Amino acid sequence: MKKNKTKVTFLPQNETIEVEKGTTLLEASIRAGVYVNSICGGDGICGKCRLVVKEGDVTAHPTTLLKREDIKKGYVLACQTEVIDDVVVEVPPESRAEGKILIDKDAQRFRALYAPMKGQVFFKYEPLIQKIHLELPPPSLQDNISDHIRLYRSIRRQKKIPIMQTGLKIIKAIPYVLRKGNWEITATLGVRGGTVEIIQVEGGNTTDRNFAVAVDVGTSTVVAHLVNLTTFETMDAEATYNSQRVYGEEVTRRIIYAEQKGENKLREAIVEDINNLITTLISRNNIYLNDIMAVVCAGNTAMIHFLLGLNPSYLRKEPYIPVCTYPPPVRAAEVGIKINPRGLLYSLPSIASWVGADITAGILATGLYQADELTMLIDIGTNGEIVIGNKDWMVCCSASAGPAFEGSGVRSGMRAAEGAIEKVKISEEGKIQYTTIGGGKPRGVCGSGLIDVMAELFKAGFLDRSGRLNPDINGKIRDVKGELEFLLIPSSQTLTKDEIVITQADIENLLRAKAAIFAGINALTKMLSIEFSDIKRIYLAGGFGNYLDKENAVTLGLIPDVQRGRVQFVGNTAILGAKMTLLSKDALDTAYKISRNITYYDLITYPDYMDEFMSAKFLPHTDVSKFPTIMGKIKR
């Protein structure tokens, strides 16, 4: 008989999997649980899923994304290559997992965040999805209520739930599950607004298998955390670049694309990203897809529009109106997210068209909404959002920064993942010390590393106040085809064998990003007539990883020059807040309150914004009196 199965072995993991002939290497890798980079998700357009065929035969579709010499060495694109015989392939370093975003400090930071607030009451543990183990009395001629009501009765003996609902599909399943389970079952309850829905009934006791995923849907980066709802533990995390990027780096371009070609492509792209993240998380943790009962999304408003298939068009047109800022929980399958088919998708409420649910989540996670003292939250992503307020009032704005601090638009930039340089020191002679996430060889520089590089170059005199590299110093600055660049790590020391550099254009991008954010901070405080010194606490959030050098952030002029003790780096608060709501219905209700009561201030209506922006495009700022502690340290 003709054999139509074939074996694929991945090196260096040495994982072997049997697949049908004609399967692409990318599909094989996903099934084998071997991570291969792919930004486009298999469309053959990103050129990131490079593999080396060591033994065996494959059919490779022609591509322009590989160099001729690479093809000679056996390089193929995993998504464009089909298996026709047993094959051994190697995953080269550049295609390997960018590692997981480190989460070990996450829980710690979470606790630290609440430490300064006295009398803080934690939200009551009441997850959005609860599993209840029930032993029902079997019916009799006397106790002859319906199976459905019997189920309700048993649930209500354990939980006070006045209003419950059940879908027809579950009602149909009830008699079988009850009898097959010999009247011992587990019911899964999901919060839907004011009511609770029975979303699943299973025989036996499955209460230890209750998982959910929290997702931060960003313009550039999508981060997912796997949460065990029984133990409240964050089990794992994974991130990917948002593959909508092929439709435009900026949100506006993506909206225009959606207007012209329909929203579907964009929805499919983000749904695919989320599905891929979930698949990776469950396969790495040996969890069944069926046991993922909910996904909570804290994304920016446009991303939530794309995800839910809402018309994004009016977001970009004056007066910038979202279709919906409080999306109700929906069946995840309805938008194409693959978890338990009855599982729910929750979207945290957003605030305005350009301040999304990620900020609602950030306010929730930092406790800003109940602070006694004036507090500021700065969340640095593709947009820089700024919130100022306390328990009485909150005002927020959004400054369009661009994705430079997420490592995008910067030659050697990458997101905060294994192999990213997260910490850098540069001496006046140009000697470089650095640490990478995970401690291995460097692959690129993430946001916190980029802040360090800029600030260190500035302090050491390689960079002048207007952000120009100074070519005369120590010969460390090279001129490559008319563009100046600073060599950070030579190719011999990197994982990818590509050198890590910072170019004049990179610096321009970073400078613009930091200027937009600082101008937003300045505009908002001026509009409110408050001084930096009135702000008693500054939370700096963003997907920087585990570390951020406050001193260097101030040196750059990214954040105001205030007492350093007042500044606290809080990491990705979008995902933190999303996880809080997963674990507590109270937290979700609070998120709704936050988004209803906060006031959005559109920087478009601030007449001096452009002036503020231009003034902030210097290091640290045109007005050095704003940065008294910095200027003394700068080498002239």
Partner 1 sequence: MAFTGLQIYKLLPKTNCGDCNFPTCMAFAMQLAAKKTSLDQCPHVSEEAKAQLAEASAPPMKLVSIGNDENKLEIGQETVLFRHKEKFYHPTGVAILVEDTITDDELDKEISSINQLKFTRVGEEIGINLVALQYSSTNAEDYARLAEKIIEKTALPLILICQDPSIMEPALKVIGDRRPLIYSATRENFEKMASLAKHYNSPLAVYAESLEELADLTQNIKKMGVDNLVLDPGTRKTGSALEYLTKLRRLAVDKVFRPLGYPTIIFTGEDDPFQEIVQAATYVCKYANIVVVKAKNTWQILPLLTVRQNIYTDPQVPNAVDSKLYEIGAVTPGSPVIVTTNFSLTYFTVESEVGNSKVPTHISVVETEGMGVLNAYAGDKWSAEKVAKTLEQQKVREKVDHNTIIIPGLVAVFRAELIDEFGWNVLVGPEEAARIPSFLKNEWKPGSKK
Who contacts 2 (Cβ-Cβ below 8 Å, separation ≥6)? none
Q: Closest distance between partner 1 and the C-beta of residue 393, in Å?
A: 5
Nearer to partner 1, 14 or 529 (CB): 529
Question: In this structure, is the dihedral angle defined by the CA atoms of residues 290, 293, 299 and 303, taken in order, positive or negative?
Answer: positive
Residue 599 binds partner 1, judged by CB under 8 A = yes
Who contacts 602 (Cβ-Cβ below 8 Å, separation ≥6)? 320, 352, 354, 397
Q: Closest distance between partner 1 and the C-beta of residue 318, in Å?
A: 7
Nearer to partner 1, 317 or 497 (CB): 317
Q: Closest distance between partner 1 and the C-beta of residue 395, in Å?
A: 6
Q: Closest distance between partner 1 and the C-beta of residue 9, in Å?
A: 54
Residue 597 binds partner 1, judged by CB under 8 A = yes
Nearer to partner 1, 552 or 595 (CB): 595
Nearer to partner 1, 529 or 625 (CB): 529
Q: Alpha-carbon distance 437 to 423, whole Å?
A: 9
- Selected binder of partner 1 within 171, 284, 608, 622 (CB under 8 A): 608
Binding mask 451-470 for partner 1 (x = CB under 8 A): --------------------
Binding mask 198-217 for partner 1 (x = CB under 8 A): --------------------
Q: Where are the alpha helices (DSSP H) in 541-584?
A: 550-556, 573-583
Residue 323 binds partner 1, judged by CB under 8 A = no
C-beta contacts of 200-207 below 8 A and 24+ residues apart: 200/170, 200/293, 200/340, 200/342, 201/151, 201/170, 201/173, 201/174, 201/177, 202/177, 203/177, 205/133, 206/131, 206/291, 207/131, 207/132, 207/133
- Residue 265: Cβ within 10 Å count: 15
Cα atoms in the Cβ-side hemisphere of radius 13 Å centred on 309: 11
Partners of 380 in the β-ladder: 384, 542
Q: Where are the alpha helices (DSSP H) in 7-105?
A: 25-32, 68-72
Task: Summarize the chain as % helix, strand, coil (round to 5).
Answer: 35, 25, 40
Q: Decide: 197 and 222 in contact? Cβ < 8 Å.
A: no
Nearer to partner 1, 388 or 404 (CB): 388
Which one of 53-61, 93-101, 464-472, 592-600 is the stretch in contact with partner 1 (CB under 8 A)?
592-600
- Selected binder of partner 1 within 105, 497, 564, 596 (CB under 8 A): 596
Which one of 265-273, 296-304, 365-373, 389-397 is the stretch in contact with partner 1 (CB under 8 A)?
389-397
Which one of 104-112, 388-396, 511-519, 563-571 is the stretch in contact with partner 1 (CB under 8 A)?
388-396
Q: Alpha-carbon distance 69 to 496, whole Å?
A: 17
Q: Closest distance between partner 1 and the C-beta of residue 605, in Å?
A: 8
Which one of 101-109, 391-399, 439-447, 568-576 is the stretch in contact with partner 1 (CB under 8 A)?
391-399
Residue 324 binds partner 1, judged by CB under 8 A = no
Nearer to partner 1, 252 or 622 (CB): 252
- Selected binder of partner 1 within 125, 176, 288, 393 (CB under 8 A): 393
Nearer to partner 1, 499 or 534 (CB): 534
Residue 472 binds partner 1, judged by CB under 8 A = no
Residue positions counted in the chain: 636
SS (H, E, C) 263-328: CHHHHHHHHHHHHHHHHHHHHHHCCCHHHEEEEEECCCHHHHHHHHCCCCHHHHCCCCCCCCCCCC
- Residue 2: Cβ within 10 Å count: 4
Q: Closest distance between partner 1 and the C-beta of residue 633, in Å?
A: 34
Residue 391 binds partner 1, judged by CB under 8 A = no
Q: Closest distance between partner 1 and the C-beta of residue 478, in Å?
A: 38
Q: Closest distance between partner 1 and the C-beta of residue 530, in Å?
A: 7
Examine residue 620 and say whether the peptide bond preceding it is cis (omega within 30 degrees of 0). Answer: yes
- Selected binder of partner 1 within 306, 539, 600, 609 (CB under 8 A): 600
Q: Decide: 415 and 406 in contact? Cβ < 8 Å.
A: yes
Amino acid at 414: M
Q: Decide: 91 and 36 in contact? Cβ < 8 Å.
A: yes
**Contact positions with partner 1 (CB under 8 A) in 521-560:** 527-530
- Residue 241: Cβ within 10 Å count: 23
- Selected binder of partner 1 within 308, 598, 603, 616 (CB under 8 A): 598
Tell me how many degrees the CA angle 33-39-45 measures, rounded to the nearest 5: 120
Please tell me what DSSP assigns to residue 118.
Answer: T
Residue from 396, 427, 401 nearest 512 by CA: 401
Nearer to partner 1, 176 or 393 (CB): 393
Who contacts 586 (Cβ-Cβ below 8 Å, separation ≥6)? 123, 124, 126
Q: Closest distance between partner 1 and the C-beta of residue 596, in Å?
A: 7
Which one of 108-116, 129-137, 541-549, 596-604 is the stretch in contact with partner 1 (CB under 8 A)?
596-604
- DSSP for 416-472? SSTTEEEEEEE-TT--EEEEETTSS---EE-HHHHHHHHHHHHHTTSB-TTS-B-TT
- Selected binder of partner 1 within 65, 132, 330, 395 (CB under 8 A): 395
Q: Decide: 620 and 518 in contact? Cβ < 8 Å.
A: no
Please tell me what DSSP assigns to residue 104.
Answer: T
Which one of 109-117, 332-340, 392-400, 619-627 is the stretch in contact with partner 1 (CB under 8 A)?
392-400
Nearer to partner 1, 333 or 528 (CB): 528
**Owner of token pair 């338990």:** 340
Q: Closest distance between partner 1 and the C-beta of residue 529, in Å?
A: 4
Q: Closest distance between partner 1 and the C-beta of residue 389, in Å?
A: 9
Q: Closest distance between partner 1 and the C-beta of residue 228, in Å?
A: 37
Q: Closest distance between partner 1 and the C-beta of residue 302, in Å?
A: 16
Residue from 352, 396, 229 nearest 296 by CA: 229
Helices and strands in the chain: count of H runs, count of E runs: 18, 29
Residue 601 binds partner 1, judged by CB under 8 A = yes
Binding mask 300-319 for partner 1 (x = CB under 8 A): -----------------xx-
Q: Closest distance between partner 1 and the C-beta of residue 581, in Å?
A: 22
Q: Closest distance between partner 1 and the C-beta of residue 599, in Å?
A: 4
Nearer to partner 1, 295 or 598 (CB): 598
| Number of residues near partner 1 (by CB under 8 A) | 18
Q: Closest distance between partner 1 and the C-beta of residue 408, in Å?
A: 25
Q: Enumerate binding residues for partner 1 (CB under 8 A).
A: 317-318, 392-395, 527-530, 596-601, 607-608
